[in-house]
Amino acid sequence: MEQKAIAVLTSGGDAPGMNAALRAVVRAGINMGMKVFGVYRGYNGLLNGDIEEMNLRSVSEIIGNGGTKLYTARSEEFKKKEAQVRAADFCRSKGISGVVVIGGDGSFRGARALTAAGINCIGVPGTIDNDIACSEYTVGFDTAMNTAIQMVDRIRDTAQSHDRCSIVEVMGRRCGDIALQTGIATGATAILVPEIEHNIERDVIARILNTQKTGKKHFVIVVAEGVGGVNDLAKYIEQRLGIEARATVLGHVQRGGSPTLRDRVVASQMGYKAVELLKNDIGNRVVVMRDGKITDLDINEALDMERVFDIELYKIAMAISI
């Protein structure tokens, strides 16, 4: 019987821990007796034939590296049916029966389309945003937050020396998890997230004034990217309160760096689970964390889920960052 072959790709925004997931897929696949191909630059690699067979040493010494050794891409072309069929034909021509897709929910839509075209796909959540509704955790989130708290701690040092208000924008277009967790971990006086409608007077100005009354002279405000407007907010705080204010957008610093223990371990567990599914000819699933355990869900079911914001944690942050 011909040796079974699978492939692995990373797609969408990169995230620390993607390399750990790649390593797990390659090593688990080979251990289970399969050939494993690495696909370069997301779905584009399947359209351009940019793949390479991996061996155990191809993924040596990458578990601690940020970024993705397979590179990543956003492929507009792959959104077209014709391209999906072409990618599936290419997989068949190489004997590839399954693909592990490491990425966010956009990438999972691609995985669903490729499965529909006849190639079993398994999604592994890899994005710093933690914005995938079906999973409590996405690979990269812990590293990004740890980077963010280091940066905010540094910003607080200088804000404190100057009696200033520092407004820091962290990543998260549709999801305030990085802002919420970074905010609570750095004692931000206010946290603005896209999931909760805000009122600047009530949620920022009044909170600064209350804290000021107790003797505090410097303030940190954490704002999610999806809320934005940090430069305008800094100007408003200066005019309204007479407190010097500075805005910082942390940006892509949050996407790089060596993955934390949590990201390395979860990525390894998720990558292994994805390979187990493909080994058993199961496709159209997403590997997820539910109740702290690694399991899998149907992609359609997973993509239909709605994210639930941790309002209790937000309330705690508001109650203690005073």
For residues 129 and 177, is the Cβ–Cβ distance under 8 A? yes
Residue 173: which of ligand F6P, ligand ADP, none does it interact with, CB under 5 to 8 A by kind?
A: ligand F6P
Mention every residue, 6+ apart, whose C-beta is less than 8 A from residue 230: 167, 168, 169, 223, 247, 248, 249
Of 76-84, 93-101, 170-178, 290-298: span binding ligand F6P (CB under 6 A): 170-178
> Shortest Cβ contact with ligand ADP: which residue?
106
Catalytic-residue membership of 129: yes
- Kindly state whether residue 269 participates in binding ligand ADP, applying the rule CB under 6 A: no
Structure token pair of residue 164: 């200033």
- Kindly state whether residue 263 participates in binding ligand ADP, applying the rule CB under 6 A: no
Distance CA 301, CA 289 (A): 15
Q: In the stretch 198-227, what mask flags binding to ligand F6P with x, by CB under 6 A?
A: ---------------------------x--
Q: How far is the CB of 173 from ligand F6P (least distance, A)?
A: 4
**Scanning residues 6 to 45, which ones bind ligand F6P (CB under 6 A)?**
13
Contact residue for ligand ADP among 19, 65, 68, 75 (CB under 6 A): 75
Of 76 and 153, CB closest to ligand ADP: 76
Q: In the stretch 106-135, what mask flags binding to ligand ADP with x, by CB under 6 A?
A: xx-xx--x-------------x--------
Residue 321: which of ligand ADP, ligand F6P, none does it interact with, CB under 5 to 8 A by kind?
A: none
Of 18-26, 104-112, 166-174, 189-197: span binding ligand ADP (CB under 6 A): 104-112
Exactly one of 14, 105, 129, 142 is catalytic; name it.
Answer: 129
- Kindly state whether residue 76 participates in binding ligand F6P, applying the rule CB under 6 A: no
Residue 171: which of ligand ADP, ligand F6P, none does it interact with, CB under 5 to 8 A by kind?
A: ligand F6P
Instruction: Report how far apart, in Å, the C-alpha atoms of 69 and of each of 15, 65, 284 are.
Output: 11, 9, 25
Of 25-33, 100-108, 195-203, 207-215: span binding ligand ADP (CB under 6 A): 100-108
Helix ranges (H only) for the chain are 18-31, 44-48, 81-93, 105-116, 141-162, 177-186, 200, 206-213, 230-241, 261-279, 299-304, 311-320
AA letter at 212: Q
Return the closest-CA partner of residue 166 out of 194, 146, 147, 190: 190
Mention every residue, 6+ apart, whose C-beta is less than 8 A from residue 180: 191, 193, 309, 310, 313, 314, 317
**Scanning residues 112 to 131, which ones bind ligand F6P (CB under 6 A)?**
127-129
Greatest Cα pair distance, the chain, in angstroms, is: 77
For residues 21 and 270, is the Cβ–Cβ distance under 8 A? yes
For residues 245 and 166, is the Cβ–Cβ distance under 8 A? yes
- Kindly state whether residue 140 participates in binding ligand ADP, applying the rule CB under 6 A: no
Distance CA 6, CA 272 (A): 13
Residues making contact with ligand ADP (CB under 6 A): 11-13, 43, 74-75, 78-79, 103-107, 109-110, 113, 127
- Active-site positions read 129
